[in-house]
């Protein structure tokens, strides 16, 4: 026992901070995915159409997209410790309102209440990943950014993988309302531990050793820069590389939202699997996506190390996104349900392999304003959902899944081409920077 305690005490604090961010990402994806799984039971119970479910999902994406930049700015202003605590509490309240609303309301009022709950959940989660950018910037050397971001994204996909079978099994046994309640309670523990343990920078944390500070001195970028004035905000919004990254992320995220939000219903409606079968099958793509996220972080780090930031960050998206385009067409056109599942699974993996490149590039461009630039990036990404969800809902409601997947294929190709114009080796200030990459571990 004493040796275990000694090992725990000697562990670098940034590993524990990373563990919290991994957990917040996992929980965020459980919270945002569970309604899409419960929708199969919500529709007949609450007399909702598939198009209305699409609008409920759209409400989350609108709130999520609108609060990306404000969430990042709040993180820079008040610090990640306070921001994550506040985001978590609001998200918990929004999750609990969804199963509670049908007990109090009906008809149009209920539909509006469900829209409001998802909109509030989107607002609560909007700042999570922009603020994560700033945490990684403050706690990790630049050479480890892509690796840490790829590893965090594994947590997101683990949450997405766990949700379909978890909610499917729970709602089969106790109904969809209790399923959402039971799945929504555990995050409270993580929020409380974060509020107690976390600090905004290594120098503020009483348990950070002199050795760990020495590892960060000279290689760790500046901590988040506090309040962002109007002039600096305008400069961030007008920065060419940030806007190109956001536009490319927008195109890629049509395909992401297609797989993340609609795969479960697609397997039921088009491939005729049962609810429980679809629940288990729908967890396969995010599992592979989680593996892809880790591989993407490692590959991006190695490419930056060898070719520099400009081509190092471009490499993975230029290779992976065309593969996504092909796999989406295969999934839609094959007559075999098994081949479709394999293609969708592989497709999700090839989408998520790009995440580390997008987010680490936004950090390299934004530097000490990385929370704000992450907000710009993810605003663009979620516009892909805002545009795509009603399109997918309308087409899928008419069983035009072929068109849904064809649009996704075209968007993936467009996302890849836009990377040819991105130069992540240049920051917002115009300063040329190397990749800062070396052999990276989460040391």
- Of the pLDDT bands very low, low, confident and very high (cuts 50, 70, 90), residue 1 is very low
**Higher pLDDT among residues 167 and 113, named by residue:** 113
Using pLDDT thresholds of 50, 70 and 90, give the confidence band for residue 441. very low
Q: How many angstroms separate the Cα of 48 from the Cα of each of 32, 87, 269?
A: 19, 29, 17
Q: What is the mean pLDDT of residues 378-394?
A: 80
**Is the pLDDT at 98 greater than 90, yes or no?**
no
pLDDT tens-place string over residues 54-72: 788 878 888 888 888 888 8
**In the chain, where the domains are located:** 7-421
- Which is more confident, 267 or 284? 284
Mean pLDDT of 373-389: 82
Q: Mean pLDDT across the stretch 285-310?
A: 85
pLDDT at position 414: 94
Phi, psi of 47 (to 5 degrees): 60, 50
Band of pLDDT at residue 412, cut at 50, 70 and 90? very high
Question: Ramachandran region of residue 279, left (φ > 0), alpha (ψ -120 to 50) or beta?
Answer: alpha
Residue whose entry in the numeric block shows the structure tokens 């309308």 = 394
Burial of 431 (0-12, 13-18, 19+ CB in 10 A): exposed
For residue 321, what pLDDT band results from cuts at 50, 70 and 90?
A: very high
pTM to 2 decimal places: 0.73
**pLDDT score of 311 more than 50:** yes
pLDDT digits (tens, 9 = 90+) for 19-49: 898 888 888 878 887 777 777 777 777 887 7
Query: Rounded mean pLDDT of 195-220?
Result: 78
Average pLDDT of the chain, as a whole number: 79
pLDDT at 169 over 80: no
Question: What class, spelled out in words, does domain 7-421 have in CATH?
Answer: mainly alpha
pLDDT category at 5 given cuts 50, 70, 90 is: very low
Model confidence at 431: pLDDT above 80: no
- φ/ψ of 96, rounded to 5, equals -70, -25
Q: Say what the pLDDT of residue 420 is.
A: 93
In the predicted structure, residue 440 carries a pLDDT above the cut 50: no
Q: What pLDDT shows up at residue 354?
A: 93
Q: Residue 146: what pLDDT?
A: 83
């Amino acid at each position: 026992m004493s040796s275990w305690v000694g090992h725990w005490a000697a562990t670098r604090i940034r590993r524990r901070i990373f563990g919290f961010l991994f957990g917040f990402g996992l929980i965020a994806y459980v919270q945002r995915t569970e309604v899409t799984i419960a929708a199969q039971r919500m529709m007949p119970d609450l007399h909702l159409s598939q198009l209305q479910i699409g609008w409920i999902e759209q409400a989350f994406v609108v709130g999520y997209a609108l609060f990306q930049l404000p969430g990042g700015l709040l993180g820079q202003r008040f610090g990640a410790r306070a921001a994550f605590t506040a985001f978590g509490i609001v998200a918990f309240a929004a999750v609990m309102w969804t199963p509670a609303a049908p007990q109090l309301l009906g008809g149009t009022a209920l539909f509006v209440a469900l829209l409001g709950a998802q909109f509030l959940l989107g607002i609560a989660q909007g700042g999570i990943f922009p603020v994560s950018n700033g945490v990684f910037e403050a706690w990790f050397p630049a050479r480890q950014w892509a690796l840490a971001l790829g590893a965090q994204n594994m947590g997101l996909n683990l949450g997405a993988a766990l949700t379909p079978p978890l909610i499917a099994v729970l709602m089969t046994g106790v109904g969809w309302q209790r399923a959402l309640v039971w799945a929504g309670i555990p995050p409270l523990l993580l929020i409380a531990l974060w509020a107690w343990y976390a600090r905004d920078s290594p120098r503020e944390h009483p348990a950070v050793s002199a050795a760990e500070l020495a590892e960060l001195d000279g290689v760790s970028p500046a901590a988040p820069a506090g309040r962002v004035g109007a002039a600096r905000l305008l400069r961030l919004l007008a920065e060419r590389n940030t806007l190109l990254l956001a536009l490319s992320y927008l195109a890629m995220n049509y395909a992401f939202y297609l797989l993340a939000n609609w795969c479960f219903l697609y397997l039921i409606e088009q491939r005729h699997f049962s609810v429980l079968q679809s629940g288990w099958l729908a967890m396969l793509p995010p599992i592979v996506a989680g593996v892809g996220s880790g591989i993407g972080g490692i590959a991006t780090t190695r490419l930056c190390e060898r070719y520099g930031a400009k081509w190092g960050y471009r490499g993975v998206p230029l290779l992976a996104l065309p593969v996504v385009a092909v796999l989406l067409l295969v999934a839609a056109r094959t007559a075999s349900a098994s081949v479709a599942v394999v293609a969708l699974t592989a497709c999700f993996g090839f989408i998520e392999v790009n995440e580390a490149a997008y987010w680490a590039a936004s950090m390299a461009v934004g530097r000490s304003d990385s929370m704000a630039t992450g907000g710009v990036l993810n605003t663009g990404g979620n516009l892909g959902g805002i545009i795509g969800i009603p399109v997918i809902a309308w087409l899928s409601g008419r069983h035009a899944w072929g068109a849904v997947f064809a649009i996704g294929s075209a968007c993936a190709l467009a996302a890849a081409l836009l990377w040819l114009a991105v130069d992540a080796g240049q920051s917002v200030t115009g300063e040329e920077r190397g990749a800062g990459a070396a052999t990276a571990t989460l040391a």
